[in-house]
């Protein structure tokens, strides 16, 4: 399982004695968590638990045997968001990525849109951003990244796109700059890298 995968959890409400009340209630109503980046012991997966309010986010560790189903972002790209503005933006993104990226490039919605599409639980609102993940095991040239940023800026929803690189998660907007290092999000925290595709 990889960061941003959505996990359907069994017995999730009893995972931790220290869960905030809102997190226990949220998991009882919608037993899903999202894989997050963090170091973790063998046999456990770091997840984030969402509540109904934006400030309600909780980091937890769940045993691997509590995972009933895993849904990666790329499985969600064909589904239609509940709100028309987000649906229009996601359709336009699909067309743009089909022309800018190689045909086997995996991508999909994450954040509140991805959570809603996977779980059926309403989590988006009229002002919601459209968070996006593009898996880029091979180098994405900066000029191509800049074209994507320009195209996304014309959409009816604000698009926050992250590239999944061999070095970790890198913001598309950062990589679209002409030069300079970028911040890669890793299991051990943020790291400044010059080339997210350079051999380790």
DSSP string, 126-171: TT--EEEEEE-SS---HHHHHHHHHHHTTSSS-EEEEEEETTEEEE
The chain-wide mean pLDDT, for the chain, equals 92
pLDDT attached to residue 97 = 93
Catalytic residue among 129, 179, 187, 195: 129
| 187 catalytic residue (yes or no) | no
Q: Judging by DSSP bridges, how do beta strands 32-35 and 44-50 pair with one another?
A: antiparallel
pTM for the model stands at 0.92
Contact between 24 and 12 (Cβ < 8 Å): no
* Residue 167 pLDDT greater than 90, yes or no: yes
The more confident residue out of 3 and 99 is 3
When pLDDT is averaged across residues 62-70 and rounded to a whole number, the result is: 92
**Count of residues making up the chain:** 200
* Residue 17 pLDDT greater than 70, yes or no: no
| 21 catalytic residue (yes or no) | no
pLDDT attached to residue 193 = 96
d(CA 81, CA 91): 10
pLDDT attached to residue 7 = 96
CB-CB neighbours of 101 under 10 Å: 17
pLDDT attached to residue 150 = 96
Of 3.30.460, 1.25.40, 3.40.50, 1.10.10, the CATH number of 73-193 is 3.30.460
Catalytic residue among 5, 21, 104, 131: 131
Residue ranges per structural domain of the chain: 5-71, 73-193
Helix axis angle, 142-152 relative to 84-100, nearest 10°?
160
When pLDDT is averaged across residues 79-89 and rounded to a whole number, the result is: 95
pLDDT digits (tens, 9 = 90+) for 105-147: 899 999 999 999 999 999 999 999 999 999 999 999 999 999 9
């Amino acid at each position: 399982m990889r960061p941003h995968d959505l996990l359907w959890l069994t017995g999730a409400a009893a995972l931790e004695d220290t869960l905030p009340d809102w997190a226990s209630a949220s998991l009882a109503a919608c037993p899903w968590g999202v894989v997050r980046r963090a170091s973790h012991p063998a046999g456990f997966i770091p997840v984030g638990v969402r509540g109904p309010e934006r400030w309600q986010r909780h980091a937890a560790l769940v045993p691997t045997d509590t995972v009933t189903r895993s849904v990666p972002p790329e499985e969600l790209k064909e589904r239609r968001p509940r709100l028309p503005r987000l649906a229009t933006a996601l359709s336009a993104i699909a067309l743009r990525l089909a022309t800018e990226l190689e045909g086997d490039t995996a991508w999909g919605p994450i954040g509140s849109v991805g959570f809603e599409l996977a779980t059926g639980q309403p989590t988006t609102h009229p002002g919601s951003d459209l968070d996006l993940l593009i898996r880029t095991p091979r180098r994405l040239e900066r000029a191509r990244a800049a074209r994507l940023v320009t195209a996304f800026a014309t959409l009816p929803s604000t698009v926050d796109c992250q590239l999944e690189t061999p070095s970790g998660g890198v913001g598309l907007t950062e990589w679209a700059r002409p030069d300079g290092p970028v911040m890669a999000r890793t299991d051990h925290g943020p790291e400044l890298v010059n080339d997210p595709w350079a051999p380790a």
